[in-house]
Amino acid sequence: MSTRRDFLQNLTLGVGFTAVAQSLISPATASPAPSKQKPARKLRVAIMGLGSYGTRVAEAMEKCEMAELTGIVTGTPAKAEAWKKKYNIADKNIYTYDTVSQIKNNPDIDVVYVITPNSLHHKHVIQVANAGKHVICEKPLADNAKQAREMIAACNKAGVKLYVGYRLHFEPHTREVISMREGGEFGKIMFVDNTCGFKIGDPTQWRLKKALAGGGALMDVGVYNINGARYATGEEPIWVTAQEIKTDPVKFKEVDETITFQMGFPSGAIANCSTTYNFNHIGRLYLVGEKGFAELDPAFGYGPIKGRTHKGELKQPVVTHQTAQMDGLADCILNNKPDPNMTGVEGLKDMVVVDAIYESIRQGGKKINIAKV
């Protein structure tokens, strides 16, 4: 039985990746390269939500040079006890969802990484912001653009940073493709084709419940399609058309199963995208420019990411994505480097497109003009 975690772990086996200041960041520039400057101390991180991905992040952080796990937030006492022992977490750094506001007075925690079900992100990010701590929120940022704007506003008001867990923005192969595109090596981008999905397992899991997931494949892994098309072109889409296919109306009663969508960009570039919860072996990004091409296949899983361009095979280092992400964010915060392209505004831009995709489906595939962020 396949799960999202299996999909992201095994994707390599597939056949075929304050508000004004933030909004000035190009949506598709590479995040700053990690520096060799070691801060005086490590970034102190609490993880909120100790499920499978929270566990993956915690394990990856054991290899971090600039970040360390110092706290947890969970509603499960047994998990709290197990994590306390495994990661040597002090009792005073363990919180429940009801006591998270008390984190405000804890100097052992700089940032909270929210890794709870999608539809809880809005509530939890605002809770953390109100407690005066920086926030990393796993994607998707929210259920919709309205919630995303409220989360950004709450963080701005509190004077804290908001990041989204776009781990691929620190992944070397992805960074290289973005760098080549920025350097004009592909010429004008004409077309992007990307796919991302897997066959979901347990029909009782939270990802199939709209109240917790917000949506189905699009919200879960389709965000990779959107974000990938945006950094492949270096542009923001201006229109979208979308179609939904549902082969199992019982299992997918509450959420979407398979969605195909097309996006148009100001330059005339077109992106063709597919995301699904119904089959495996898709997870590829392919871009074509007037002077060349790039392919990442697999493009979006936990790695190793592989790729090639018209110049040959990409041979960038293989990294643990979550380790690179957490060290990269720590570098930005502690060394006062420019914010990476993982801010709340970046997450908002993807949510604006998600809203437009669902609206197109509601209107029978009609072309929807995408509002500017």
Domain at 109, CATH number: 3.40.50.720
**pLDDT on residue 1:** 44
Q: Which of 95, 113, 133, 139 is catalytic?
A: 139
CB 84 within 8 A of CB 164: no
Q: Which domain holds residue 247?
A: 168-317+341-369
Active-site residue 224, yes or no? yes
Angle between helical axes of 223-233 and 344-362 (0-180°, round to 10): 110
Q: Three-state DSSP class for 291?
A: coil
Same domain as 113, residue 134: yes
Has residue 132 got a pLDDT over 70?
Answer: yes
In a domain, 12, yes or no: no
Q: What token pair was written down for 275?
A: 């995301």
Q: What token pair was written down for 199?
A: 């066959």
In a domain, 162, yes or no: yes
Same domain as 303, residue 180: yes
In tens, the pLDDT along 63-75 reads 999 999 999 999 9
CATH number of the domain that residue 179 is part of? 3.30.360.10
Conformation bin of residue 372: beta by default, left when phi > 0, alpha when psi is -120 to 50: beta
Same domain as 253, residue 174: yes
Same domain as 128, residue 40: yes
Q: Indicate the pLDDT class of residue 19, thresholds 50, 70 and 90.
A: very low
C-alpha–C-alpha distance, residues 314 and 177, integer Å: 9
**pLDDT on residue 9:** 53
Reference 314, options 331, 297, 335, 328; nearest CA is 297
The average pLDDT across 13-31 equals 40
Has residue 87 got a pLDDT over 90?
Answer: yes
In a domain, 100, yes or no: yes
How many domains is the chain partitioned into structurally?
Answer: 2
Same domain as 201, residue 119: no
Same domain as 150, residue 54: yes
Q: Which of 53, 113, 224, 358 is catalytic?
A: 224
Same domain as 159, residue 292: no
* Residue that finishes a domain, picked among 133, 167, 201: 167
The average pLDDT across 12-26 equals 34
Same domain as 235, residue 135: no
Same domain as 156, residue 172: no
In tens, the pLDDT along 270-303 reads 999 999 999 999 999 999 999 999 999 999 999 8
In tens, the pLDDT along 188-246 reads 999 999 999 999 999 999 999 999 999 999 999 999 999 999 999 999 999 999 999 99
Has residue 83 got a pLDDT over 90?
Answer: yes
Same domain as 155, residue 55: yes
Query: Residue 184's CB: how many other CB atoms inside 10 A?
Result: 10
